[in-house]
Chain A
Amino acid sequence: MRRPLTAAVLPLLLVGTAHADRRNVLEDQPAIRHKYEMRKTRFEVSPALVMSINQDFRHFVGGGIVLQFHITDWLGIGVQGAFGGGVDSGITDRLAGDSGVLPATETGVQPSKTQFRDHLATINAIVSGYVTVTPFAGKLMAFGALQLRYDLYALAGVGGMNLSNTYDSTKPEDNDPRCMNGDPNRCDPLNSGFAFGGVFGVGIHLFFNDWFGFNFELRDYLASTNPAGLDVNGDRLVTSDDATISNNLFFSAGVTIMFPLTAKISD
């Protein structure tokens, strides 16, 4: 009698076991199958228009290029360079423009327009080498009609800015002992050269097809600079101590071309 009973109960137990083992077939599967691999093992070239957005006295405007290799879909390495010149900001115009408030000749404590301009640092170039991480990628619909692929990325690396000024340190009047006597307008601004530092940024690609898209970026060059080239710490001298670490933000808008021109499709 015990054997038939066991035979009757065993299938019920097996049915129960089968229910317990039931699992979501999508578990551990990739979120997207047959995905267009827009980045993986592809090379990116992105020429762009670059401009600074938070310089106090002279904005940088120039052209640049990004060369980047995407090792995986989410990890890449790249270099970037941009070259251009300075455009006076609103403060500079108000101080040293045609109707600026600074005097035409120095007054002893107040710089002349020329002295003020000669001390200003102009950004001529920015360069960087960095690593990019692309955690977000997807599709978007614009105006219910235009479908684009896009990705959002962050970057971190090292780089710097090439700076120059128009101060002529060979002129005898600019090597005046008054510099040492508390007139910073007579001191060398010491703000030319290469300001080395860290680079951080975020950006977005908007792809119209497999190989062409738009690219917008915001980069922060964290470097020690003295953009006004005058006394900052109040000792009435201009030395390297007057340079302070500052955020130098740059916005770029350009196009992206991916190589090879055809994107692979994932499993």
Chain B
Amino acid sequence: MKRFAFGLCAMLAAGGQLALAQEPPADEPPAGEPPAGEPPAAEPPSAEPPKEGEVKTPVEEVRPGARKWDDIVIVPRRYSLKRRRVEFVPTYNVTINDAVVRHHGFGAMFNIYLSEAFFIGLEGTYYAKQLTDRYFLLGVDQRVLPSVNHYVFSALLDFGYVPMHGKFTFFNGAIGHWEVYVEAGVGIFQSEVIPRDPANAGFSNYLVSGLLPGIGARMWLSRWFAIDVYVKNYIFADKLEPTTRVPGDSPDASGNCTAMTGCAKDNASSQFTVDVTFGIGLSFFLPPSFEYKTLR
């Protein structure tokens, strides 16, 4: 009997909740309507009653055939907020516009977001050189040894802006988010001459350089992790090995050159250089979490 009583109580409790969830009690006034006892507030009589056809309901105001997004005034909130967060991006890049030498760069970027769109950052890259087949063939076929410099490292201060952000579907299934950023910067490159004659010593150059522009895209995989792809255009005036080297134009232990022509570095020709790199990176945003502070 006790079991029956418990069962009955539970059934009534569950059934009652279900019933409540399904329909509002009959004695409650419907939402949005004034209580029955209260008369509606008196409206001032209009000077002239509206004529037929002058009054339009919201439904009638919708223009048939108009594009659907024209009526959308609220957009979904951003997938990830970046303001007051920092971004750490280990990168790999490769130079793509030099036929005789290719550089593989390993480095990192560190960006601080001042707002959702603006950031300042530091980037540093160490380069490893790879002479191409063309470098060899120019010597074999044209009997010419080109002046080639090896980049050692670069370090720049960057200023960036995020002008575009968007989302996509993958085969109309999963939804992804991405954004595009543009950068400009100023910094330093170290290049090192690869001597045509291995008997000669090379020399290093420290070059003021610019990043103008850098364009990248970031695809979010989570709210703190993204994949970066970018193309950067570095410009600087490189110093190339003189076409004529003479004995004694390399500095000795005391840094002096005994050649009549002075040091090879002093005779180096200046060459305006455009270094285009393609790179990929992994973006880590810190702190990993954030709070939306505005309404959806």
Cα–Cα distance between A9 and B4 once the two chains are bound (Å): 9
A136-B169, A137-B169, A142-B164 known; A31+B175 contact, CB < 8 A: yes
Note all chain B residues with C-beta closer than 8 A to A34: 68
Cα–Cα distance between A91 and B145 once the two chains are bound (Å): 12
| Contacting pair A91 B99 (CB below 8 A) | yes
Quick check: is B167 within 8 A (CB to CB) of the other chain? yes
| Contacting pair B142 A150 (CB below 8 A) | no
Note all chain B residues with C-beta closer than 8 A to A232: 137, 141
A5-B4, A34-B68 known; A110+B166 contact, CB < 8 A: no
| Contacting pair B170 A140 (CB below 8 A) | no
Question: A188 to nearest B CB, angstroms?
Answer: 15
| Contacting pair B141 A228 (CB below 8 A) | yes
| Contacting pair B170 A135 (CB below 8 A) | yes
Within A1-37, the residues touching B (CB, 8 Å) are: 1, 4-5, 8-9, 11-12, 15, 30-32, 34-35
Quick check: is B8 within 8 A (CB to CB) of the other chain? yes
- Please classify how large the interface on chain B is, using the bins under 10, 10 to 19, 20 to 34, 35 or more: 35 or more
Quick check: is B7 within 8 A (CB to CB) of the other chain? yes
Query: Looking across the interface, which residue of chain B has its beta carbon closest to that of A150?
Result: B166
Note all chain A residues with C-beta closer than 8 A to B175: 31, 138
B14 interface neighbour in A12, A152, A244, Cβ under 8 Å = A12
| Contacting pair A141 B143 (CB below 8 A) | no
B144 interface neighbour in A9, A74, A102, A140, Cβ under 8 Å = A102
Cα–Cα distance between A53 and B172 once the two chains are bound (Å): 33
A8-B4, A142-B163 known; A73+B141 contact, CB < 8 A: no
| Contacting pair B69 A147 (CB below 8 A) | yes
Quick check: is B55 within 8 A (CB to CB) of the other chain? no
Name 7 extra pairs, CB < 8 A, besides A11-B14, A109-B143, A232-B141: A9-B7, A15-B14, A110-B142, A141-B164, A152-B168, A231-B140, A231-B141
Q: Please list 27 pairs of residues, one from A and one from B, whose beta carbons are closer than 8 Å in the complex, sorted by A's number.
A: A5-B4, A8-B7, A11-B14, A12-B10, A12-B14, A15-B14, A54-B97, A54-B99, A56-B99, A91-B134, A95-B144, A102-B142, A110-B143, A111-B141, A135-B171, A136-B169, A136-B176, A138-B166, A138-B168, A139-B166, A140-B165, A140-B167, A141-B165, A150-B166, A228-B141, A230-B137, A232-B137
